[in-house]
Structure 1
Amino acid sequence: MPIYSDSDIDQAAGPSRPSTFFGRNRPLYSILGGRKVADILLWRNKKLSGSILAGFTIIWFLFEVVELHFITVACYLLMILMLILFVWVQAADFFKWRPPTVDDIIVSESTARYMLSRVNKLLTVFYMISCGHDLGRFCLVLASLWLLSIFGSYSSALNVLYAVFLCLMTIPVLYERYEREVNYIATQGKGDMKRLYKKLDTKVLSKIPRGPVKEKKFM
């Protein structure tokens, strides 16, 4: 990655604060929810983030490399869980352990409500983007989905999901760490795109013949 001086970055970013994508004013941690999800994506809790990444990697390895079937792996996991619970309950009295209860394995209502609220928030963002209020973001999401569909046509669904998961686990934390450099490059790229569009509009688009515009008649 090229190294930029602080003066170059500040000159492109502005006098007060570095420019951000889509005019972002809030910190990245706040945009990601500011809770457990943000802690995981930004590696605030390195043990939890590492464990989740390792778990998904093991699942991907079992399905794509070892080529086990989903039902087989699910049955193996349930069998292991049953054996662990059986040994734990039977040996609880002997080792003076607290035996597990059903509350230890069920999903709490608060967790379910939180997950449902995140899904609803995601659907709300999807709706707002689809309405076209922010044309730049609309085009970016549309192009990203199109590229993802092309990538998915040459790969399995699990590979696509794992690639998306790796992006979620790496891009936010890398962007937070190198935010000034990324904003500088994005600002330079945005300026280049504007100059390219202006040149294209001057030499090509403005010379395209257009039909006469009819004046509207007002009653």
Structure 2
Amino acid sequence: MAHNTSSDSDNEIITTQSKSFPHGKSIHEVLGGGKVADVLLWKDRNISAAILVGITAIWFLFEVVEYNFVTLISHISITTMLVLYIWSTVADIFKWNGPKIPETILKDSFFEDLAFNLQRRFYQLLQVLFHISCGTDLPRFLLIIISLYILSEIGNYFSFINLLYIGSICIQTLPIVYDRYEEEIRNLAEHIMIDIRRKYRRFQKTYLNKIPRGPVKEKKIK
């Protein structure tokens, strides 16, 4: 009965913790709530699709065509300059409007928002890793160690470009998948965490609690 009671308490704790993000925030607010969040959640489909196509094109050029970075930048610059030159020449002949830099490119709010969100998420990640590394949550500590080891093994079979491309695809797909199937993903995460904690309790009871420990010395009060 004691085991069932502890299991039920774990279920309640995990269910309560996983009902929402910290302070009841939605995934849009967790992602920053700005233009970056809109892009990641595909609220502006044109920009999100353009970024996805651009990332795929870069991956194709580097990984499939095996372009060198300097060569690729040079060829893109040459092509862009030729297109702008021809466009300007034709515009002068037919009295059309010449090429102009889009205002969206000139605005730096998007890039500032992106840099701010990346810096904040990186800082939060460092805090979480430091907190877990101090031994406050051994099951989660072991889970992260195993995950990092699996990631290191995966890195032996994929190039950096492939890993970067896979990571970029995940960044653009996982938030929208979570937003649409939030309840199902939370339920799955609850069951996984319950199973991990149950196995850890069994491991602790079978092995850790049987490790002999020396007597605790009382401090002498002078």
TM-score bracket for the superposition, by shorter chain length: 0.7 to 0.9
**1:92–1:128 CA distance, 2 compared to 1 (3 A):** same
Task: Identify the residue that residue 204 of structure 1 maps to in structure 2.
Answer: 207
Task: Identify the residue that residue 6 of structure 1 maps to in structure 2.
Answer: none
Residue identity in the other structure for 1:198? R
The alpha-carbon deviation at position 110 of structure 1 amounts to: 4.3
Aligned pairs (5 A) from 1:29-108: 29-100=28-99, 107-108=106-107
**8 Å contact from structure 1 (residues 132, 138) kept in 2:** no
The alpha-carbon deviation at position 26 of structure 1 amounts to: 0.7
Q: After superposing the two structures, state which structure 1 stretch, 128-137 or 148-157, moved more.
A: 128-137
Q: Distance in 2 between matches of 1:94 and 1:184?
A: 65
Q: Distance in 1 between matches of 2:124 and 2:195?
A: 29
Aligned pairs (5 A) from 1:1-219: 19-20=18-19, 25-100=24-99, 107-111=106-110, 113-132=112-131, 139=141, 144-219=147-222
Residue identity in the other structure for 2:56? T
Q: Tell me the TM-score normalized by structure 2.
A: 0.77
Q: Distance in 1 between matches of 2:104 and 2:81?
A: 12
Deviations 1:106-162 (A, max 9, x none): 754545544443343234224422431795698466655443333223221101100
SS at match of 2:131: coil
- TM-align CA RMSD: 3.2
**1:184–1:41 CA distance, 2 compared to 1 (3 A):** same
SS at match of 1:132: helix
Deviations 1:158-209 (A, max 9, x none): 0110011111111111111111011111111211222212222222211111
Q: Which runs of 5+ in 1 are unaligned?
A: 1-11
Q: Distance in 2 between matches of 1:18 and 1:217?
A: 42
Residue identity in the other structure for 1:161? L
SS at match of 2:127: helix
**8 Å contact from structure 1 (residues 13, 184) kept in 2:** no
**1:141–1:200 CA distance, 2 compared to 1 (3 A):** closer
Q: After superposing the two structures, state which structure 1 stretch, 19-28 or 78-87, moved more.
A: 19-28
Residue identity in the other structure for 1:203? T
Q: After superposing the two structures, state which structure 1 stretch, 114-123 or 147-156, moved more.
A: 114-123
How many residues of Structure 1 are paired with residues of Structure 2 in the alignment?
Answer: 207
**1:190–1:35 CA distance, 2 compared to 1 (3 A):** same
**8 Å contact from structure 1 (residues 19, 187) kept in 2:** yes
Q: Tell me the TM-score normalized by structure 1.
A: 0.78
Identity %: 36
Q: Distance in 1 between matches of 2:105 and 2:45?
A: 25
